[in-house]
Structures are given as structure tokens and as C-alpha cells.
Amino acid sequence: MFKEFKEFIARGNIMELAIGVVIGGAFQKIVTSLVEDIMMPFVSMFTGKVDFSDMVIQIGSSTIKYGNFITAIINFLIIAFSIFLVVRYLNKLNKIKEIGEDLANKIDPEGKLKRSSDNEAEEPETKICPYCLTEIKYKATRCPNCTSELEK
């Protein structure tokens, strides 16, 4: 049983998840500090309140702490936006890597671009008449507009 548990813990996905949770917890503390210590004082200047967490509504013997709720929403939005930026950056890096790999596959050992055999066999559907400059079928031998004979 201990051996199975050790194999379970040693799997890559579990370790990555654990690392992500630890880093996420640390990141959440940074964002909470950013919101509470830096952003909320600026927001409180506009609302006229000194401390956002003091914003409460008293209903009977219970209190509704809507200031803490607003702070939590701002925390969430900052974390979500930060994650969006990181994922967007990683997607750009992956796209650049894919473009580089595609380009590397198209270069021969001499450093020249290879001609794709697919592109050579494929012929276009239309062409431009050199006399009247209208678009015509690629296999046409005479232009239907100006009736000029076309070269093959």
C-alpha cells in the first residue's frame, strides 16, 4: 500500500498540481496585499472612507460586511487578470515556437526553403488576362471578355 501511495505521489500530474497550489497560495497573498495595502487606500480616497473593511450594514444584531466583499471581488479580478496575462504570454510563446518549428521544417540542409510537393501539384483556379486584365479561368485558352488568345 505504501508503494502504491509513493507511485501516486511521484506522478508528474500530482507534483505539478501541488506546485501550482503552493505558488497560487503565495500569489494570492501578494495580490491580497496589493489590494488591501495599495489599491484600497486609493479607492477609499474617492469614497471618503478611511478603511474599506469598516463598510458594514447593521441589521438587528448581525452585520453585513460589504466592504470585505468588495475587497474580495477586487482580489478576484486582479488574480483573474494576472492569470489571463500569463496564459496569453504562454500562448504567444507556444505560437512562436510552432512557427519556428514549421520554418525549420521548410529549410533544407543548405539553408534554402524547400519547395513543397503539395504546392507544385496544386494549380490555381483563376488567372488574369494580360490584355484586358480581367479574371478568367486558369485553363482558359481564350479570354471570354476581350477574345484574345492566351498563352499556356
Same domain flag for 36 and 101: yes
pLDDT score of 115 more than 70: no
C-alpha cell at 47: 469614497
Q: At 82, which CATH number?
A: 1.10.1200.120
Residue 95: domain span: 2-105
Asked if residue 117 belongs to a domain, the reply is no
Q: What is the mean pLDDT of residues 100-119?
A: 70
Domain count within the chain = 2
Same domain flag for 72 and 143: no
Same domain flag for 68 and 137: no
pLDDT-derived band at 8 (thresholds 50, 70, 90) equals: confident
C-alpha cell at 37: 495595502
Following DSSP, what letter does each residue of 59-123 receive, concatenated? ETTEEE-HHHHHHHHHHHHHHHHHHHHHHHHHHHHHHHHHHHHHHHHTB-TTSPBPPPHHHHH--
Same domain flag for 26 and 78: yes
Closest CA to 52 of 64, 43, 62: 43
Asked if residue 148 belongs to a domain, the reply is yes
Please tell me the pTM assigned to this model: 0.48
Asked if residue 114 belongs to a domain, the reply is no
pLDDT score of 51 more than 70: no
pLDDT in tens, 65-106: 888 888 788 878 887 887 788 889 888 888 888 888 877 777
**Maximum mean pLDDT: which of 15-19, 74-78, 97-101, 146-150:** 146-150
Same domain flag for 95 and 43: yes
Same domain flag for 11 and 72: yes
| DSSP H or E segment with residue 10 | helix 2-10
pLDDT in tens, 117-128: 544 557 788 888
- Name the more confident of 81 and 47: 81
